[in-house]
Homo-oligomer: A and B are copies of this chain.
Amino acid sequence: MGRPRQFDEERVIRAVCQEFWAKGFDGTSTADLCRVTGLTRSSLYNTFHSKEHLFRRALSYYVSTMTARQATVLDTPAASGLERVRALLAVIVDEETANRESGRGAGCFTVNTITSIASRNPDVARVVEADLDKRLSSLRLALMDGQLDGSVAADRDPGDLAWYVTSLVSGMRVAAQSGAGRTVLEGIASTGIEALTP
């Protein structure tokens, strides 16, 4: 059977994810990855093949956990369509505030990736594009529900509104990285929601 692994793969991915999130693909060295995981180069390469594979694993882990969490909020029944979008933005604000206070640094790994390597790496681009499609779909459904229950303006294409909310979220992530705190983010969210009301 061979010698067993001395590490937990998901724990390693989590550590790698945080490092790539903070420093980006180009700004992270394999030495950094060894340091934050506690693994040697051998174990890292034996398991994950290359820095780029490891990056994609970390990014996929991030988008799947993030998007799942957000989809859960968006799919909450009972609440109106608008309330579900409002809840999503509240989650974003909470996340950014928590990350800031725990010293993890602000911003979103996905946004950071879109604005850096995604344009130069088709494989990475595919990961973020697939994730974007999922998020747009979830949003679109919630917004259509909102148009049916009367909480969301019915005179706009729900697809356009989904793009708007996605942009708003990205903008809030960038604002957080620019130093915006909870109060400012809450202002952005509550103002941004106004655009959706009938």
Q: Which residue of chain B has the shortest Cβ distance to A183 in the bound complex?
A: B160
- Expressed in whole angstroms, the minimum distance between the Cβ of A137 and any Cβ of chain B is 14
A188 and B160 within 8 A (CB): yes
Please, how many residues of chain A have a CB less than 8 angstroms from a CB on the other chain? 49
Does A34 lie at the interface of the complex (its beta carbon under 8 Å from any beta carbon of B)?
no
Main secondary structure of the interface of A (DSSP, over half): helix
Check A178 against B120 for contact (C-beta < 8 Å): no
Q: Which residue of B lies closest to A136 (CB)?
A: B178
Residues of A near any B CB (own CB < 8 A): 22-24, 26-27, 105-107, 111-112, 114-120, 128-129, 132, 153, 156-157, 160-161, 163-164, 166-172, 174-175, 177-180, 184, 187-188, 191-196
